[in-house]
Amino acid sequence: LMFMAIDRHEANLFFQLINQLYGQTSIIITSNKGPEEWGDILGDPAITTAILDRLIHKSEVIHLTGDSYRLKHRQTIFGNN
C-alpha cells in the first residue's frame, strides 16, 4: 500500500473502504511508506488524517527495520541473473 501516488477519487474510495471496515473486522496493511508520508501520496491531508485515525485507533503498529529479505537473498530467490 502507498507504493505510488493515487488521485483524489482513489483516495476517497480508499477512505470509504477503511470507513466501512472500521470497527467491523481486523485490517492488516503493509506499506513501504510511513504514515507521515501518506499525505503526499494520497494528496489530501483531510482524507489522510481520517484514514489514519481509523487505522491507528485500537491498533498494533509493527515497524520493521533492517535489511530486506528479498534483497539480501536475491540470488537464491531469483537465480544468478
pLDDT for residue 47? 93
Instruction: Give the range of the structural domain holding residue 60, as residue numbers without chain letter.
Output: 8-73
* Residue 78 maps to a domain: no
- Asked whether residue 81 is domain-assigned, the answer is no
Specify the pLDDT at position 26: 92
How far apart are the C-alpha atoms of 42 and 54, rounded to whole Å?
Answer: 15
How far apart are alpha carbons 20 and 38 in whole angstroms? 20
Which residue type occupies 52?
L
- Give the predicted TM-score (pTM) of the model: 0.73
Mean pLDDT for the stretch of residues 58-63:
88
Q: Tell me the backbone φ, ψ of residue 61, rounded to 5 degrees.
A: -95, 125
Residue 80 lies in a domain: no
Total count of domains within the chain: 1
| 17 occurs within a structural domain | yes
Structure confidence at residue 81 (pLDDT): 54
In this predicted structure, what is the pLDDT of residue 76? 76
In a domain? residue 79: no
In a domain, 24, yes or no: yes
pLDDT, tens digit, for every residue of 27-52? 998 888 888 899 999 988 999 999 99
